[in-house]
Structure 1
Amino acid sequence: MSRFQTFDDRADPARTAPRIAALRAELARRGVQGFVVPRSDEHQSEYVPPCDERLAWLTGFTGSAGTAVILADRAALFVDGRYTLQAPSQTDTGVITVVNSGETSPARWVEANLAEGAALAYDPWLHTAGEVARLEAAAKAAGGRLVALSPNPIDAIWEDRPARPKAPVRPHPEELAGLSRSEKLARLRETLAAEKLDALVVSDPHALAWLFNLRGGDVAHTPLPLGYALLPREGTATLFLDPAKVTNETGDAVGALATFRAPDALAPALADLAARGGKIRLDRDTAAKALSDVVREAGAEPDVGADPIARMKAVKTPAEIDGARAAHVRDGAAFARFLAWFEDHAPGGLTEIDVVERLEAYRAETGALEDVSFPTIAGAGPNGAIVHYRVTAASNRALATGELFLIDSGAQYRDGTTDITRTLPVGEPTDEMRDRYTRVLKGHLAISRAVFPKGATGAQIDGFARAPLWQAGLDYDHGTGHGVGSFLSVHEGPQRIAKTGTTPLEPGMILSNEPGYYKTGAYGIRIENLILVEAREIAGGEREMRGFETLTLAPYARALIAPALLDADEIAFVDAYHARVLETLGPLVDEATRDWLAGACAPL
C-alpha cells in the first residue's frame, strides 16, 4: 500500500449540480449574479492544501489548473489542453460547460455571457491584480461590473471544509542549500537596491522556503510552509507563519535575521509599511489583489513586478546541482529495478495501482525518500491519453497485452527533486505505436542535444521537440518543459520550454524535457528526462553558448524505437546515453536487474 498517495476519487459529477445551486443561492443572498472560482489559494499556488480545494469541491475537477465562472443561468469550467479529456469525466457537463482555455479565456467568456447590469464577484485573495484587471475589463465590456467579495461564498456552504494545515516548519541544511540565509538575504538586498525598491512582499511560499532555508509540509508532495514575509531593504525581515508550526529549531536557525508574527498580522504590517512611504514590490504572479488594495488604502502605489527571488532560486547553487545529480543516481537505481520488474510482470494482469505501489516501494527502499513529488500518472491504454491522468480505485485499469503504458512519476529527496516519464509496451507494439514513439523520441533528443546562445529562451527551442511530430501532422497540447526546484516544487518558474517560455535559460537551471503524443481513446506517449543548463564551449565559435546535461538515468523503451527513423547522430546519442546509464547504475542494483539493464542499454 502506498505511503504517500491515495487512490480515492473525490470527483463525483452527481454533486456538481446541488453544490452550484447552493452557491447561486448564496450569491443571490449577497446581491451578486456571478462568481469566479480559481484553482489557486491565496498564494496563487499550483498545489494547494485540502481546505483551499474550492474548485474541486464545487465542480469535481481535480486538475492542477483551472477556473470556473458561475453565473445565475450558466456556468463554465476553463481548463488547458492537459485536462480537456479529464475535466468532462469529473464534472456534470449538463450543468457546467467545459471550455478549452487555449481557445476561449475566462475573460472573453465573461464578456460574451455576463448579463448587462450584473455584478460578477471574486475573492480578492485568490486572484492577482493582473487577473482582476482582465476580468474587470471584460465585465465592463459586457455592461456589468466586477466586485470583490469577502469572505469567500464557497466557504459559507462548504460544511465539512478541512482545517488549515499545521505541519511543522523545519530548517533546510545549509550544506544542501549551498548558501546561508544571511548570504541569500544579502544578495536579495543588493537586488532591491539595484532596482530602487524599499521593500519586498514575499507572497510565494517557494520563495519564502528558499530564501530562509526552510521546509514544511502544508501541501501534499511539496515541502512548503505556507506563509509570507515582509523584507525591507534595510532592517529586520518579518516572517508571517502560524506560530503553532514554528519549531524551536527553526526559531534558533533563523535567529536575528527575522522576527515571527501570525499570518493575520500581515495586512496591518503592510499597511503600516506603505503609510511610511517607499517603493514596495509585489510579485505579479503570486501576490493577491488584496495585498495591492492594502497598499493603496494606506496611500501608496504598489510596485507590481517580478519577484527577484524567483530567478535567484531557479539558478541552482553548486551544492544543489551536486544534490540533484546524487538524487538522480539514487532514483535511477530504484527506477531500473522497477523497469526490470515491470517487464517481467506486466503481462500477468497488473493494474495501474499495482504499478504505482511497486515503483513507490522501490524508491522507499532507498531509505532517502521523503515523499513522491506529485501523484504518479500511471495510464494503461486509453488512460495514457489523458495527459495528467490520476488513477483512482474506480478508474484503476488492468494492463492489457498490445497496449502502451505511460508512467510519469517523481520523488522528493532532501538533496533533490526528480521527475521522469517512460512509455512502456505491454506485449508487441504496433507499427503506428513505434512510429509515434520514435517521433516523440526524436523531439526529446533534439532538446537533449540542443546548443543555443546566451540569452535564448525556452520559447526559441520549444519547436525543436515538435518538429518530428509536425512533419507527420501531429502535435501535443502542453509545454515541452517546466522548471524543477531543489527539494521544492516539481513545477518551478520562471524557466520553461514552451511557447510562453520568455525567461533566458541560464547555467544552473533545471528543467524537464518531455514531448509527447496522445491518441484519444487509444494510448499516450511521453518521454521525460530532467536536464541541467550548462555553459557549452564550441570550437571556433564566436558566441557564448549553452547546452544541457541530462540528469535522469533510465533506458528508453527499445521495443518502441524504429531505428530507421533515427539518423546516425541520434543513434550515437542514444547509445552513449544508454552506456552511461549502465555504467552508473549497474553497480548499484541487484544481479537480475543488472542483467536486464545490460540488455536494455545495448547499442541500437
Structure 2
Amino acid sequence: MSTYTARLAALRDQLTRQQLDGFVVPLTDEHMSEYVGAYAQRLAWLTGFQGSAGTAVVLPAEAAIFTDGRYTLQVREQVSGDDWQFVGVPETSVSGWLAGHAKQGARIGYDPWLHTRVWVDEASKALAAIDATLIPVDTNPVDAVWPDQPLPSDAKLAVHDDSHAGRSSADKRAAVADWLVEQKADAVVLAALESIAWLLNVRGGDVSRTPVALSYAVVNADGTADLYVAPDKMSDPVAQHLGNAVRIHDRRDFASALGRFGGKRVVVDPTLSVAAIPLAIEAGGGEVIALRDPTVIPRAVKNPVEQAGHRAASIRDGAALTRFLRWISIEAPKGGQTELTAAAKLEEFRRATGVLKDLSFDAISATGPHGAIPHYHVTEESSLPIEQGQLYLIDSGGQYDDGTTDVTRVIPIGQPTSEMRDRFTRVLKGHIALATAVFPRGTTGGQLDALARLPLWQAGLDFAHGTGHGVGSYLSVHEGPARIAKPSYPGAGPSEPLLPGMILSNEPGYYKAGEYGIRIENLLLVVERSFEGGEDVMLTFETLTLVPIDRDLIDPALLTPGELAWLNDYHARVAGTLAPHLEGEDRAWLIQRCAPIAG
C-alpha cells in the first residue's frame, strides 16, 4: 500500500469515528489564501498533488480531486488514479459532484474555517436534493490523522517602511474609518493576509513566497484597529510603528472576540472570509454586512511611490534574469543541466542583487514535456535534464521591498522546429495585441482576453489558463480583484473594471501535451492616455518587465509591420535600460539579443 493510499484509508477511518459520510478538503487556510503555510497543506499531504489550486472530496467508497485546466496533466502525474477520480472545474462543481455521488441522507463534513459562507450555502442547497446535510466540524479530520503536521510559522513581523508603501498606516485606517461611517457600520473584519499587511504597513514570513503574517484585524469606525497575532511575532520596532491606535491581541483569542459584537453592525467580505467568522458574529448578536473588503481596490491601485518602486524592481530583476538567460544559452547545450539546477542558478543571480527578500513563487522551471504543464512544480523526483531539441520554459519572480516581479521566457535548446517558431510567434502576436490595447474606463479584463487569444484561435489553437492576473506591491504575486481571463475561467469571479495604477500580467501561451510549452509573460501597468482631438481619456498599458524575448523562436514573416515595430522598440528599451546595470559579456550578449529584427 502506497503512502497516499494509506493516508486516504486513515482519513476514512477517522470520518467513521466522527460519524461522517464524507469530507471536503480544500487547498486554502483560515484566510482563504491561495498560497498557504506548510501546516495548511492538507490537500498535498493527503493526495500528493503539488498544484496551487484544487479540492478533494472523500466518500466511503470513492474519492475525487477537482482541478482546473492548468493542472489537467500535473494532477495525473502526481496523484494515483487508483485512489482518486480526476474531475475538471468549472465543468463540474464540487457541490454538484457531491449531490450526484453521496448517499441519500449523508452527513458531509466541512471545516468552517476553510470555506466561505457562499460555498457552504451552495453546497447545502445541492445536498438538500438528496436529503444530505453539510456538517461543520470542530476538529478537522485530516489534522487528526496527520501525525507530523508542521506547526504554523513563528516568523516575526517586520515594518514595511512608508518610503516603499507611499502612504502611512494611519492614513489608510482613516480612509477605512470614513468608509465605515458611510456604510453606517461599526467595524470591518479583515481576514485576508494581504489586506492586513497593506493596511498596517507590515510584512511577515508565514507563507512561502508571500510576505504576510498569520493574523486577523478589526478596523473600527473611529480609525483604531485590533490586530490578532501570535505575541511572539511582535517586536519593539513593530509595536512602535503600529502605535497606540492599534491594539494587539493573541491570535487565539480572535474566535471568541467575534462573539462580542452584540448590537453592532460588522462588515465581512463574503469572498475573502471563512464561514466561521460571520457565524460567530451572528451567534453573539451582531449584524453581519456582506460587503467587499474596503482595502481591496486601494491595494490593487498602486500609488505613485509603489509604481516607481516596481519600475526599479523590474530593472534590477530584469538584469538578473538577463544574466541567467545568457548563462543557460551557453550551458544548457553542453548537457549536464536540469530543471532544478537551472532554477537554482536563476535564484543565485537574483540573490546577487543583494536586496532580494524572497522569490515571489517557486520557479516553474520546465523543459520539454514539462513545459506543457502550465503550473508545473519541479521536485527532486520530477526534475528532467535539459536536452537538445527541447524548449526550456522558465516562469519566475522575486520579492523586493519595492516590488514583486513575475516573468516568463522560453529558450530553445538547439535549433527549434518550424512548428515551435509558428506557435511562439502566435503567442507573441497575442502578447503584443494585449500590450498595445487602448480601451475606455469601465473595461474589464474579460473584455480584453480575446485579444491575446485571436492569433492562436486563427490556427485552431488556445490555452487553458487566464491571460493575466493582478500583482501586489511586495505582496502576493497573484492579487485580485482584476484579472484578464475568459468569464468562465475558474476563479475569474465578477468582471472587474481595470483602473489606472493596477498591475497585471500579460501571459498568453501554447502547450503541446507531452512535447513542449510556450508562454511569454510581462507585467503591465494600467495608465491613462489622451489623444489629440479625442473626446475621452482612454486607458492603455505600460510594459514594466524588461527582459529580452528570444529572437530565435520568432518567425518575422508572421508579424505585421506594427508588431515588428513594437518588438524592436521593446528590445531597444530593454537594452537601453539594462545595459548600464550589466558588465562585460553579459552586456554584450544583451545588446546582441536586442538588436533590431528585420521584417
Residue 570 (structure 1) shift:
0.5
1:303 to 255, 271, 289: 289
Instruction: Note the alpha carbon deviations across 1:15-73, whole angstroms, 9 max, x for none.
Output: 22111111111111111100000000000101111111111111111111100010111
Question: Does the CA-based 8 Å contact 2:159-2:237 persist in structure 1?
Answer: yes
State the AA in 2 paired with 1:310.
Answer: V
Q: Name the structure 1 match of 2:324.
A: 338
Question: Does the CA-based 8 Å contact 2:173-2:223 persist in structure 1?
Answer: no
State the AA in 2 paired with 1:356.
Answer: A
Alignment of 1:108-187 (within 5 A): 108-187=96-175
Q: Does 1:95 align with 2:83?
A: yes
Q: Name the structure 2 match of 1:387.
A: 374
Question: Does the CA-based 8 Å contact 1:405-1:426 persist in structure 2?
Answer: yes
State the AA in 2 paired with 1:35.
Answer: F
Q: Name the structure 2 match of 1:8.
A: none
Q: Name the structure 2 match of 1:434.
A: 421
Question: Does the CA-based 8 Å contact 2:500-2:525 persist in structure 1?
Answer: yes
Q: Name the structure 1 match of 2:517.
A: 524
Q: Name the structure 1 match of 2:312.
A: 326
Residue 601 (structure 1) shift:
0.6
Alignment of 1:185-264 (within 5 A): 185-234=173-222, 236-264=224-252
Moved more, 500-509 or 433-442: 500-509
Question: Does the CA-based 8 Å contact 1:331-1:411 persist in structure 2?
Answer: yes
State the AA in 1 paired with 2:584.
Answer: E
Q: Does 1:558 align with 2:561?
A: no
Q: Name the structure 2 match of 1:279.
A: 265
3-state SS in 2 of match to 1:308 = coil
Which segments of 5 or more consecutive residues in structure 1 lack a partner in the other structure?
Answer: 1-12
Q: C-alpha separation between the residues in 1 aligned to 2:586 and 2:532?
A: 40
Q: C-alpha separation between the residues in 2 aligned to 1:497 and 1:218?
A: 29
2:4 to 6, 11, 16: 16
Q: Name the structure 1 match of 2:582.
A: 589
Alignment of 1:28-43 (within 5 A): 28-43=16-31
Instruction: Note the alpha carbon deviations across 1:375-398, whole angstroms, 9 max, x for none.
Output: 000110001001111111111111
1:46 to 18, 26, 34: 34
Q: C-alpha separation between the residues in 2 aligned to 1:405 and 1:312?
A: 37
Q: Does 1:479 align with 2:466?
A: yes
CA RMSD of aligned residues (A): 1.1
Question: Does the CA-based 8 Å contact 2:20-2:109 persist in structure 1?
Answer: yes
Question: Does the CA-based 8 Å contact 2:367-2:392 persist in structure 1?
Answer: yes
Q: C-alpha separation between the residues in 1 aligned to 2:51 and 2:299?
A: 26
Q: Name the structure 2 match of 1:10.
A: none
Question: Does the CA-based 8 Å contact 2:309-2:402 persist in structure 1?
Answer: yes
Question: Does the CA-based 8 Å contact 1:81-1:102 persist in structure 2?
Answer: no
Q: Name the structure 2 match of 1:549.
A: 542
Q: Name the structure 1 match of 2:498.
A: 505
Output the TM-score relative to the length of structure 2.
Answer: 0.97
Q: C-alpha separation between the residues in 2 aligned to 1:448 and 1:85?
A: 29
Give the aligned length: 590
State the AA in 2 paired with 1:342.
Answer: I
Q: C-alpha separation between the residues in 2 aligned to 1:20 and 1:371?
A: 34
Question: Does the CA-based 8 Å contact 2:174-2:223 persist in structure 1?
Answer: no
Q: Name the structure 1 match of 2:507.
A: 514
Instruction: Note the alpha carbon deviations across 1:278-333, whole angstroms, 9 max, x for none.
Output: 32111122211111110121223311221111111001111111100000000111
Q: C-alpha separation between the residues in 2 aligned to 1:173 and 1:397?
A: 42
Moved more, 91-100 or 377-386: 91-100
Instruction: Note the alpha carbon deviations across 1:88-143, whole angstroms, 9 max, x for none.
Output: 11112111111111221111101111110111110000000001111111111222
Residue 356 (structure 1) shift:
0.7
Q: C-alpha separation between the residues in 1 aligned to 2:94 and 2:552?
A: 44
State the AA in 1 paired with 2:273.
Answer: A
Q: C-alpha separation between the residues in 1 aligned to 2:310 and 2:132?
A: 51
Q: Percent identity?
A: 49
State the AA in 2 paired with 1:269.
Answer: A
3-state SS in 2 of match to 1:239 = strand
Q: C-alpha separation between the residues in 2 aligned to 1:235 and 1:547?
A: 36
Question: Does the CA-based 8 Å contact 2:338-2:384 persist in structure 1?
Answer: yes
Question: Does the CA-based 8 Å contact 2:368-2:391 persist in structure 1?
Answer: yes
Q: C-alpha separation between the residues in 1 aligned to 2:86 and 2:278?
A: 31
3-state SS in 1 of match to 2:369 = helix
Residue 401 (structure 1) shift:
1.1
Q: Name the structure 2 match of 1:6.
A: none
Instruction: Note the alpha carbon deviations across 1:422-445, whole angstroms, 9 max, x for none.
Output: 011011001100110011001111
Q: C-alpha separation between the residues in 2 aligned to 1:363 and 1:236?
A: 39
Question: Does the CA-based 8 Å contact 1:384-1:518 persist in structure 2?
Answer: yes
Residue 235 (structure 1) shift:
5.6
Question: Does the CA-based 8 Å contact 2:173-2:224 persist in structure 1?
Answer: no
Q: Does 1:451 align with 2:444?
A: no
3-state SS in 2 of match to 1:82 = helix
Q: Does 1:419 align with 2:412?
A: no
Residue 400 (structure 1) shift:
1.3
Moved more, 80-89 or 264-273: 264-273
Q: C-alpha separation between the residues in 2 aligned to 1:357 and 1:384?
A: 18
Question: Does the CA-based 8 Å contact 2:65-2:84 persist in structure 1?
Answer: yes
1:355 to 325, 328, 342: 342
Residue 539 (structure 1) shift:
2.1
Question: Does the CA-based 8 Å contact 1:507-1:546 persist in structure 2?
Answer: yes
Q: C-alpha separation between the residues in 1 aligned to 2:412 and 2:532?
A: 41
Question: Does the CA-based 8 Å contact 1:14-1:92 persist in structure 2?
Answer: no
Residue 340 (structure 1) shift:
1.2
Q: C-alpha separation between the residues in 2 aligned to 1:133 and 1:541?
A: 48
Residue 492 (structure 1) shift:
0.5
Q: Does 1:460 align with 2:453?
A: no
Output the TM-score relative to the length of structure 1.
Answer: 0.96
Q: Name the structure 1 match of 2:69.
A: 81
